[in-house]
Amino acid sequence: MKIDYDSIHSEILLKSRPYKYLHEQININGVIKIKKTKLDFFAFITKMIISQQISDNVAEKIWRDYCQMLGCKNPNFQKIKIIKNPINNISKLKISKRKINYIISFYNAIKKKNLKITEIIKLNEKDLKYELCKFKGIGPWTCDMVLIFFLRRLNIFPENDLIINKTKQELFKFNNSKIDLKKEFSPYLSVFSLHLWKMSKRIL
């Protein structure tokens, strides 16, 4: 189903009107769309594990190195599976041994069919988080990234995201009071979150 982002933007602008500064920032951002990823589920999870607790620039550099090492722009589970010693390739990444173990463990779960991706992606938000959080290295933040950027669910608010929380605090200062953002911007919290990330580059 095609998502009407123009209508969503108009709705978010309308909802933000009582909050002048926030309204201005959303207006500056313009229409924001959730782009469809070219990665499969395993590659997406791998990228998210790499991204945990490091800057976006460092994470992107490591991911580019990983793709170059594998010889493909958009790696996926099947491509990685047929590469000789795929585990050794993952182990060469310049990330912590802990993260490497998380990725290898997730790789093995898919390989041994202990995780059925076709079933996981059909679950609602609560059940998906419950199932994915069984795997070490996958917590609420990673689940939210899956829901927003892989599954493109429209009403997800990543409350554990550092930038989101910092941006919220700045907005509260300008508004001189707290705003119940989840209540105000539902059912488009995913798109609203993208607005917060984008405006954070200007206001933080």
Asked whether residue 30 carries a pLDDT value surpassing 70, the answer given is yes
20 shares its domain with 51: no
CA 55 – CA 72 distance, rounded (Å): 23
57 shares its domain with 25: no
141 shares its domain with 51: yes
Residue 61's CATH number: 1.10.340.30
Q: Lowest mean pLDDT of 11-15, 38-42, 176-180, name the range.
A: 176-180
125 shares its domain with 65: yes
DSSP letters for 121-164: TTS-HHHHHHHHTTSTT--HHHHHHIIIIIS--SS---TT-HHH
The pLDDT confidence band at residue 75, using thresholds 50, 70 and 90, is confident
Query: DSSP 3-state assignment of 191?
Result: helix
Out of 130, 150, 170, pick the residue that ends a domain: 150
DSSP letters for 28-75: HH-----PPPSS-HHHHHHHHHHHTTS-HHHHHHHHHHHHHHHT-SS-
The secondary structure element, H or E, covering residue 113 is: none
Full domain range(s) for residue 27: 5-34+156-203
Look at the chain and report how many structural domains it folds into. 2
Q: Tens of pLDDT along 116-134?
A: 999 999 999 999 999 999 9
Interhelix angle 20-29/5-16, rounded to 10 degrees, is: 160
Predicted structure pTM score: 0.93
Out of 150, 173, 195, pick the residue that ends a domain: 150
Asked whether residue 80 carries a pLDDT value surpassing 80, the answer given is no
